[in-house]
Structure 1
Amino acid sequence: MSKSHASLAALCASVFVVGTSEYLVAGILPEIGADLRVSQGTAGQAVTAYALGVVLGGPAVTVLTSRLPRKGLAIGLMLLFAAGSALSALAPSFGVLLLGRVVSSLSHAAFLALALVMATSVVPEHRTGSAIATVASGFTVATLLGVPLGALLGHAAGWRAPFAVLTALTLAAVALLALVLPRQQAPATSPRDELRVVTRGPVLLAIATTAVGFSGVAVVFTYISPLLTQVSHFSSGAVSALLLAYGAGSFLGNMAAGKLTDRSLSATVRGVFGGLTGVLAAMPFAVAWQPTAVLAVLALGLLATATIAPLQGLILRHANEAPNLAVSVNVGAFNLGAAAGSALGGALVAADALRWTGPAGAVLSLTGLALTYLILPRRQAAEAPRGTPVPSAHG
């Protein structure tokens, strides 16, 4: 295995651990509530606290650590994550559990941003899309395997067991990073440089595209299980199998989008958003018949995470000389989009419009598609050589 492949594998494994932690709590809320003597609604605040830590804390940590050597920073952020996981596993009260989740979340966006930027630095410029997709695949595997296995462990051995295992896996990832990551000096950019770049017009538009476009997926996917059981009349077992197929499709879609991004960033990002708009718009009609419902779920899986590589590629295209904060904020934008989409979907479900979450998601994806034409208005700019900043009146 080459040094670049080993580095990508180590970063991917680390992202898998972080990604598993993000959604783990949702699967073990009853156990947490019963043990710590809080309602499930209160226990759910552990999910909210983590999300807020990612959105608000991640960029702050990124700015404060912008002058540190990259390898040492990656290891330090994962050790911070391990500390949060250990604190969660040992928490004697719900307040301490919240503290542990916040500590872990502070490293989430900063580490993912660092991992994505480091990934692009260990491969040739024409393979940056594939490198981003490889690292991001850690999240899709976490959703496919890590979260359900963690929930099963929590049901069988108590809610603390998954956090204990996560702590051990994080320390193993730290050892792997220490072994294979190349040493990289601290970037010459200052926090002021990072702030200047992230406030450029095209960078802000790219971040908005991520938040708006990805929220379209969340409107539907958050409520995909009741949609398939109540409208399509699938059994619970069949829904579980479909969600497994969705996860497998997400992995394949993410990797394919990485390779396509290497060939044409603009065509990939527009093709993905165009495809999502069509699938989401058709969802109310597709779920009325089980065979088309299966096809719709598989298509949604293929396209949902196919947004990651081109959207992060957009950020790197416009924030090339000081990318860390911009990528960190964009990671938060994915989380913000997921939260906003879930809230909108919840409002539709409350209004007895479960079947019609798809068109609402389609409008958001279509808005994301429209925004890409503001960011990449000319083919020449869109297809500039990798690593070349696009001139902008805002920058």
Structure 2
Amino acid sequence: MTIKAKFTHFLAVALLSSVSSFSTVSAAESNGATTTEAALPFWKTPHMDYVSLEVTVDDAGLSFWDVPLLEKAFIDATPADRKDGVSVGQLGGDGGNKDMIIKLAREIAEGKHGDIDSLLIAQGGKLLFESYYLRGRVNLTHPQVSATKTYTGLALGRAIQMGYLTMADLDKPVASFLKELDPTKFIEGADKITLHQALTMTTGIRLTEEQWSALNDDPNQIQGQKQVQAIFERTAPITAESQTFLYGTGPGLVMQVLEAVVPGSAKDFIKDELFGKMGIATYSWQTDPSGLPAAGWRASITSRAMVKVAALALNKGRWNGAQLVPEAFIAKATDRLIAVGDEDAFGGGKDVSNQGYGYFWWSADLRAGDKSYFSASAQGGGGQFIILIEELDLMVVVTAHDAEPSTLQKTAERILPAFAE
């Protein structure tokens, strides 16, 4: 199976799994919504007036796919200060070529670039451009699908910053942190799978689809750390040859370690110590059959919250002057630690090359004219992207419900030229 085939399979499963999640809107982020409106999940919002940015509620029974499409796109080159912790500026005045970006936005509104729900661009620490289309909503969450992996990784980094783990612990076996396991029943090599390998999805774990299905069909055998025990007992032997990149093998192990080392639960730790510190109150994060937060998909956050995640990473783990995640962890997360090949890069095209992977962040070189820029990106099925271009101090956020997005290619082709002048 090619990388694309593996990636597409996991993204498809993740996308289907994510649409049933829900979230509520906090008073700080709703910007005038009523109490009733603030309790409305993203996909139950039938209409948004983008003049007042207020949500109106007529029907609470809609699924994500039933959210009526916006009749007119919202395109703003001077994003509003919503008192949500996102600094704002003016496209053109504070950076970027306004005409080029507005032209792209109008093409998106005309449906020329797929089913995009939002496009936000920040540079120099300021949000300079904000736009919503189709099912996009400014103060309601969007399914993140596999971009959830990135947030799982950042939560582990937060635990390191707080002293519950160390950077050296990343090279220790996952099993060493999980005291309820019985290593005598492990398949050969499973006891040596490290946190680093889980974060880079090079664990070597190989289960058939039938084996995965059998585990999920009997939740009792995968509650808590039993999930890891079951996987380590059933996987094919772990060898140096098998420990190559395989999409999907690793996030659950990382969440298990987080649950084991932090006080209380991983769910509360994410709420209080990661998202809470960043002022992200409007989100949802579904539960895995193990009882822990789903590590690989099923989170849902707003586009502006995605901008916050981008800023945290681009600022080397700092948020409002405080070090939330170690700089060393961010460096590894957004680096090209392993090369995964350029075969059909998700969201890629002719100007996207040298695809790689760090700690739940993808990487690639994006060519704009005669110059290439290194990019790191969180990616989720359907077209969720958080793209960092450190050389330009540039952040691009996209949400979509598009099976075959071209977001990295469009960033190289249409967005980078507007900010590289």
Normalising by structure 1, we get a TM-score of 0.28
More strand per residue: 2
More helix per residue: 1
Normalising by structure 2, we get a TM-score of 0.26
Structure scoring higher RCO (CA < 8 A, sep ≥ 6) equals 1
